[in-house]
Chains A and B, each alone.
Chain A
């Protein structure tokens, strides 16, 4: 069974631009969560989508948004990029949402560098 895939793997953008990251979950998994990983803040939860609905959102500004499609693939968008948005963005999928969905399967991440 194929794992979670994320595209692109690496991205370099300049301040003020916007970026879209893509995540394809494991087949049969309906929940997709997004995390931002930085050396200083560690892993921070961005949001979770389940069956095309945002179930939960972390403490990030409105510049961070996402969506999920009917095939469970998910995209994350960051508008008006700031230097502090440079991070590894991880996508994780699980079969169900909520507490039982805590056993998550992570993709390799997208390394975003903002210059």
Chain B
């Protein structure tokens, strides 16, 4: 069975500082990995994806994610956090032969002014 873990329920970071939201995965074969963001009372919005190629993936709103196969991780990063980045972030993944996207539990990011 495939699984995606987000070890931190909440991450607090000061505005202007770099942020990292952690994600690890366990899927069969080569993973397809995604990050989504959810603002209050809204659906999820796609941020970025890794399918193959460069380990550093760039996405929307200045976010990027680093794929590390040996550590089975796909951490979300941003060089300088904004207060407007405060939201719930979900990591998701799927493995070979799977039609199902598995989501992590989510990490609440709070950017403090």
Contact = CB atoms under 8 A, between A and B. Distances in A.
Contacts of A101: 99
B97 to A, nearest CB: 8
Contact of A43 (B32, B95, B98, B106): B106
Interface in B27-83: 32, 34, 36, 41-46, 49, 51
B101 A45 contact: yes
Interface stretch (A61-69, A70-78, A79-87, A91-99): A91-99
B101 A106 contact: no
Interface residues of A, number: 25
A93 to B, nearest CB: 11
B43 A102 contact: no
Contacts of A105: 46
Contacts of B96: 99
Given A43-B90, A99-B32, A99-B98, A104 B103 contact: no
B43 A109 contact: yes
A33 B105 contact: no
Contacts of B102: 45
Interface in B80-113: 90, 92, 94-96, 98-106
Contacts of B90: 43
Contacts of B32: 99-100, 102
**A35, A42, A55 — most chain B CB neighbours (10 Å):** A42
A33 B44 contact: no
Interface of A: 4, 33, 35, 42-43, 45, 48, 55-56, 58, 90, 92, 97-109
Interface of B: 32, 34, 36, 41-46, 49, 51, 90, 92, 94-96, 98-106
